[in-house]
Structure formats: C-alpha cells, structure tokens
Structure 1
Amino acid sequence: MDLTSEVVIRQIDLLQDRVLFVNAPTDDLLSQLNDNIKPSIWCWNFNDFQYFQNQQSNVHFGVDFPEGQFDQAVIFVPKSKELLNYLLHNVASHLAQGASIFLVGEKKGGVERAAKQLQPFGKTLKIDSARHCQMWQTLLEKTVTLKPLQDWVQKYPVETPNGELTICALPGVFSQNRLDVGTATLLPYLSQVTSGKIADFGCGAGVISAYLAKLNPKNRIFAMDVDAFALASTQMTFEQNLLEPEQLVIKAVTGIEDAPLFLHAIVSNPPFHQGIQTDYNASENLCKTSRRHLKSGGELWIVANRFLNYPTLIEQHYGQCTIKADQQGFKVLFASTQKNLKEQ
C-alpha cells in the first residue's frame, strides 16, 4: 500500500459519510475503509481511472468536479502547486461550511508547502506525521464561488510558418507557462512530416497538434495523452485558434498501444513523468512498438533529451534512425517504416 494511504488509514476514524478521494494512489485503500464511509474517486490520469474502474469503484475521470454531494474530501498532493490550487478551489466551492478537507502527501513531495495552500480556506491543523508523510485537516470556514475552467488557463504565443498560435494550458500540464526547449527544437521540422492521419503522443497543451493543423488543414490530428488536463488544454488551444474541429480527435490513452492503426505519422515530445516519479516506460514503448500503428512508409518523429538511448531503441525496431538535430540538450529523431509497393 502507498505510504500516503497508510497515513489515511491511521486516521480512518476522522472520515465519515460521502468522502471524495482526489488523486488517490492505485492501491487497496478503499477496501480498508469503514462501513460508514461512502467513497468516490476523482482522477485525471487515465491509467488510474482504468484501475479504479476495474475495482468497481465509483470513479470520475476529468478536469471538472464530479457530480454528486460530498461531506468530506481527501486530497493526495499532486506535483503541481497550481493544480493543487485548482483542486482546493473546486473542493471548497462544492463542500458545505464546516466540512473537512484533508491533505495528505509525502514530505519529499512537498506536503508541508502544500499545507500552506489550505490556509485561505480555514484553520489548518497537522493531524499526523508518519511514514515520511503528513496529513493535514482544514475546516471550511467560508463559502467559495466556483471559478470557470477558462479562468485557470495560462496562454502564450508560438510562431508557425502560417502565423501565430496561442497555446492554452491548464494547471499541472507540462510547460504551462511557456514553450519548452524540446518542443521548440522539434517545431522547425514539423513541415517535413508527411501529411494525413497523424498522432501527437503525449499532446500536453496541444502545441504540436495545433502546429500540424495550422501547417496543413488536411491533416487529421489524434491528440493523445494520459492526462485529462492535457486533453482539455489541447481542445482549448484548437478553439482559441479557430482551427477546424474536424481536424482534431481527442483520445485518452494509457500508452502508444491505444493509438489508431494505419497512421501516416506519429509525432511526439514523449512524457517521462508519472506524478512525482520519473518513468520512461511510455516513451520507451513508443520507440519499440509504434511502427505497428503506422502505414507502410509511415513516419516517427521524436524529440528527446540527448542522454536518452532512444536512437538505439528505434534502430532495433525500425532498422534505422536519423538524427535530424542535436542542440540545446535535445535530439530530433526520425524513422520510417518500409514502403509497401502495393500501397504506392
């Protein structure tokens, strides 16, 4: 069981009635709860959603607060300070005055810093410290009016050969405030990507997806991400830039295995974080198995940190890998499947 869940179990007698668990770890916490607790889960990671679905839990996947009434909430501290602000605001705007909001997290994950974000909502008290974790409680002292999702968006410009794009990024989404160096390194090469049915794996705020759509109105983009906040950001980016909605397909995925088949291209600044932890599984699987989702002659375009051994992985599965650029600590990598003469 996750260490944070163990701390919650230590304070189980404080929980009662309809309790919303926000960003809960994928373990057997729910099975340890008392009978007087009616648990629900709010998550935005598609892997987590599938786990809780398989457990027959009452789980909601998305950026919006779940439907229903709740008496208490337990928030497991996310990596992003801005995302925690969003979660606290949403929880506080849906609970009644006097309701308890609990915050639990690991010390190395910044729980003490996070606890300070509770203070505007009411008197805050540390109620447990164990397993290198802490649990805090706030009694909601005032009514909070819900702010619309649009108010949480950060915007920044990105230049394309066909004009400027405005990128919309929600809290917790990768590179929320500005264009990251890796994507900036990749963008000049997107005009070389074959047109057609293209997957943007790990779409984030939709920079690559919108750029490809702006370059060619005939491109059909499958924007794929594990994170509901990323998918919502990409949708907002398309709407902000008046791109044709028919060009975009939003798809929550667990990995590249959920991508469509017969793609003309896969383009990615691949993710390598799972919450606070570094996790290269999704990006390594992209290198190893992406070719089965491509048409013959289909293309793979990846930008990745220079120190990662992706060129070797790609060569093992594609037969070749071309380094298109090597600058500012990043490599732009290209590979393609063999063309089938019958398809030409």
Structure 2
Amino acid sequence: MENTTRLLERQQALLAGRHALIVDADDAALAHLPAARITLHGELASLPLDQAQVLPDVPADTDLLIIILPKSRERLDLLLAALAGSITRPTECWLVGPGKGGIRGALKQFAALCGEPESLDSARHCKLFRGTLSPHPPVTLDQFERRWHCDGLTLCSLPGVFSHGRLDDGTALLLDTLADITLHGPVLDIGCGAGILTAQLARRGLEVSAVDVSTSAVAATERSLAANDLTARVYHSDLYSGLPGGAGAPRFRTVISNPPFHDGLAHHTGITQRLISEAPRHLQRGGSLWLVANQGLPYGDWLAQHFAQVTVAQENRRFRVWHARLQN
C-alpha cells in the first residue's frame, strides 16, 4: 500500500458519508477508503480503475475530489483545469503526495484554483492539503498538447507522458541504431510514450502494434500517428497483458522498447525484468528484442537467461542498446 493511501486512511471522520472521486489513482487500495462511495480515475493499465482515461469525469453527486499528486507539474495543471471545467458548483478538493515528491511546490498551482490550502494531515513522509475548487470553463486536451518535429515527423505529447515535448537521449540512440538495420514485422513497441518509435516503424512500412501503461501515452501516440497519416494498433496495456488474443501463438517478429528506469525518485527495474522474461512467449522463432537502457544496469544477464544470442549493438557514455535473439 502506498504511503499516500495510508495517510488518506487516517481521515475516516472526514471521509464518512462522502462521495469521492480520486484522480490519478496509483494504488488499488484506494478503492477501500472509508467513504460512502469511491470512484477511481487513473492512467495505469495495471490498476482496476472505474475511469481509465486521460481526463476524469466527475459524477454528478460527487462532494469530494482527491488528487494524488502526479509526478508532472503540467499534468497537475491539466487535472485541476479539467476538474474545474467539469463541476457546476464549488467542491471540496484535497491534494495528497509525498513530502519529497514536490507537493510543497505544487501548492501554488493548487491555490490558483482552490484558494489558500489548509494543511489537514502529515504522516509517513506525506502531506495532505484541502481547498475548494471553483467551476471554470471546460478545457480540451488540445490546449495542453505539445508538438515538436523529429526526422520529418510531427510528434504530439501530453502532460505526464515520458520525455514530454522532446526526444530523450536513450530513444535517440535506439533510433540511430535501428536506422540502418532491416527489421522484420510484425513489430511491438512497448512503452510507446509519444509514439516516436511507433511512427518511425510505421513509416518504414512495418506492421506495428504499440502498448503503454499510461492512457496519456496511448492518446499521444494516436495523435502522433494521425498527424503523420500513419497507421498502427495502439493498446492501453501493462506490458503484454492487454494485447488481444490472450496466450495464443506468438505474433511478433520484433519487440522494441525504451523501458522505464525511474519510478518517481527510486530506481525501478522490475518492469524490465518482466518485459524480458515474458518476451519469448510473444516472439516468433528467431525473433528479436531491441532494448535501450542506462549503462550499469544488469540487463545483459537477464537477457542471456531467456535468449540464445545477446549482443550490445551500440553504446555511449550513458546508454547501451541491447539486441537479443531467439533461436530459429
């Protein structure tokens, strides 16, 4: 259970009888908070959400909004604006997050729409603040979209998407590595983000599927594809779990990924371990996995446990591109 959830659990008296919408939920345990009704909105395909979508919908009888502090300041602005544009009367609003996760800095944004915040509680290195959100005109995602150009492609990103509004250095190295390599489809792009890899692969005429655990990333990739008149299948999925067809015959010839390494302030490699260990079940015989990662991570050892051939295709001082291949 997340520490922010434990802090909210302490608010039993304040939650009693309330109809709460929890925005940007990051913990399944939030559904069991002691309120009359809890509606969970969020981005993550790994959670059982009532609303798995970029922007929250506020149920008509909601009398409490609870925002779990997002990692992105721009996403907090988007969420506050979207909530303010969805209500018709002033509504109590809480903001909860880790003390070292930037919640103090986020209070200025919170105050702009919710008034001077009141400190409700502090425990487990987390803080909880309360304000009153006032109604504002509705907003659209177009108002928060950021566009940029890369190698003749137009890329579209949304707040909260990895490397929002720019090409990150790891993906740049992976793109450079793949530029002169003949790839075989079907191809799966895991962690598609704003869709730069998906769009590049689709432009090469490959049959491409893309997945991301974040609804914002799925929406951004779909926008990037549309902006370039390209086609790919994009799924909201926790790694392979959301792909259609279940555990049928392996469908991909190539899997490509720039997997997440940082989870907030902590290193997080468990997702990549799963990505590597489960990949052979989704690859055809002789299929390949291309992976870019920070230098110093033990991905070579993990790849060797599941693939017949493992090589370093390219590297620099910060990143390494791994190529792992199954037996024919």
Same fold (TM over 0.5): yes
Q: Identity over aligned residues, as a percent?
A: 32
Letter in structure 2 aligned against 1:106: P
Match in the other structure for 1:145: 137
* Matched-pair contact (CA < 8 Å) for 1:256–1:285: no
1:2 CA drift (Å): 2.9
Return the alpha-carbon distance in structure 2 between the equivalents of residues 337 and 105 of structure 1: 43
* Matched-pair contact (CA < 8 Å) for 2:156–2:165: no
1:32 CA drift (Å): 4.0
Find the partner of 2:306 among 288, 292, 317.
317
Find the partner of 2:284 among 292, 295, 298.
295
Give per-residue Cα distances to partners, 1:67-126, cap 9 Å, x unaligned. 632222001111111111111111121123321111011101111112221111132222
Map 1:175-190 → 2, pairs under 5 A: 175-190=163-178
Return the alpha-carbon distance in structure 1 between the equivalents of residues 251 and 29 of structure 2: 39
Map 1:1-344 → 2, pairs under 5 A: 1-15=1-15, 16-34=17-35, 37-49=36-48, 52=49, 59-66=50-57, 68-69=59-60, 70-123=62-115, 124-141=117-134, 143-159=135-151, 164-191=152-179, 192-216=181-205, 219-243=206-230, 245=231, 248-256=232-240, 258=242, 261-274=250-263, 277-339=266-328
Return the alpha-carbon distance in structure 2 between the equivalents of residues 125 and 185 of structure 1: 46
Return the alpha-carbon distance in structure 2 between the equivalents of residues 145 and 98 of structure 1: 13
Letter in structure 2 aligned against 1:282: I
Letter in structure 2 aligned against 1:81: R
1:28 CA drift (Å): 3.5
RMSD: 1.9
Unpaired segments of 5 or more residues in structure 1?
A: 53-58, 340-344
* Matched-pair contact (CA < 8 Å) for 1:71–1:95: no
Return the alpha-carbon distance in structure 1 between the equivalents of residues 274 and 3 of structure 2: 28
* Matched-pair contact (CA < 8 Å) for 1:201–1:269: yes
Distance change in 2, residues 1:67/1:112 (3 Å): closer
Matched residue SS, 1:47: coil
Provide runs of 4+ in structure 1 moved above 6 Å: none
| Between 67-76 and 322-331, the greater mean CA deviation after superposition | 67-76
How many residues are aligned here?
319
* Matched-pair contact (CA < 8 Å) for 2:21–2:58: no
More helix by share: 1
Return the alpha-carbon distance in structure 1 between the equivalents of residues 11 and 281 of structure 2: 49
Distance change in 2, residues 1:209/1:193 (3 Å): farther
Letter in structure 2 aligned against 1:44: E
1:275 CA drift (Å): 5.1
Scaled by the length of structure 1, the TM-score of the pair is 0.87
| Between 11-20 and 92-101, the greater mean CA deviation after superposition | 11-20
